[in-house]
Structure 1
Amino acid sequence: MPISSISTSDILKHPVMDSKESENIAVTNAKAAAKGKAAEGTPTVVVATKTEIQTRRGSKKGLAIVDLVLRLGASAAAFAAAYTTGNSDQILPFFTQFLQFHAQYTDLPTFTFFVVANAVAVGYIGLSMPFSIVCIIRPRAIGPRLVLVIFDTVMIALLISAAGASSTIVYLAHNGNLDSNWLAICMQYSNFCQTLSGAVVASFVAAVFFMMLVVNSTFTLKK
């Protein structure tokens, strides 16, 4: 049988790899495979587009405008409660030179606290307006929004406590309490009692506005 000859050029073209080179190639292939598997397991990062960012910013700006409107409503309700109570008085028509029947809110300490609480709420709304405007100009600002949430919550507690205590007094004035000999004075002071009842309702409305403010601010911070 003829024996085929292998030239030197063929050996140079196809050099025989030793064991060390084979081991290096195997290690390289293993690392590449591991990197490929790791890349497959890595979660895909979704980058928000410019349109999505503008949409989110527009929604936050809209919520900031709603915040300003709610503050105006809370201010109007609290001011109506404080002003109405402060001007509530009634003098009964039957009085003499030395004796007259006069009812006013200062006769009851609860309503004095009621007027102060609603006046504080009105003053707070005035101080919080600049923060609300800043949130409209810079919808993504977090600091002013956090400050508003904290103090809005304090105003809710203040108004609810004042309105709740005053509503108890109004109820007793309308219905009385025989066990404690509390007379129903609204039979005589009807205008005075109606004015106080309306003021208490206005104060509860202001508290509801503040609750809506807290919900609005919390939703904005969550987004």
Structure 2
Amino acid sequence: MSREERLVAYVDGELEAADRAAFEREMSADPALAAEVALQQRLGARIAEAYAPVLDEPVPAGLVAAASVANDRGRPRFGIAQWAAMAACLVVGVLAGRAAMPQPGPLVVRDGALVARGGLAQALTTQLAAESGPVKLGVSFRSGDGRYCRSFQSAADRLAGVACREADRWVARTTTAWTPSASPDYRTAGSDAPPEVLAAVDAMIAGEPLDAAAERAARAKAWRP
């Protein structure tokens, strides 16, 4: 199964438990893949909402009966030996997956959202835009829904984006691949931000960006609205 096929199967909930876990580990190590999954999930939710009235209609009893008969024909029957063999294969697969597990990236998929972790989460929580560090913080602002949001660029992860504070975590609203500028004039995240990040900030921001004093005040109250 190709990566695109696995992506579609994951979004549709058609992957087996072991395959789903392996795909989620892959997403944790690949922000671009995780962003694509999140996009497909949002599109799926919109489609489901649009067709909800049709999907909620009761299925005709005759069709249900016909489907039940078809599904019962030739249905395999597993004995203890077959179930034991399947369980053994599952254990081997889990152990092999753990051995090959990639190092987690700066974002992890939790409850269908891309959540910042590790150094990225630490920088978003504690670092001011004027301060230097492995992660460069650009614009801090309030979004239209009242949340605090911050643009960021991580050279080590070659990742840029915008994350917003939701409860006690930072959820990525936009992510894109990014390569640091080689120019010695590079100073802040804002000066080298990808167009996708600038466009996201422009679309989300409500009012003016936070100045240094407002950033400190927001940090002091843990970025809670």
TM-score, normalized by the shorter chain, greater than 0.5? no
The structure with the larger Rg is 1
TM score, norm. by length of structure 1: 0.24
Answer 1 or 2: higher relative contact order, Cα 8 Å, separation at least 6: 1
TM score, norm. by length of structure 2: 0.24
Structure 1 or 2: more helix by fraction: 1
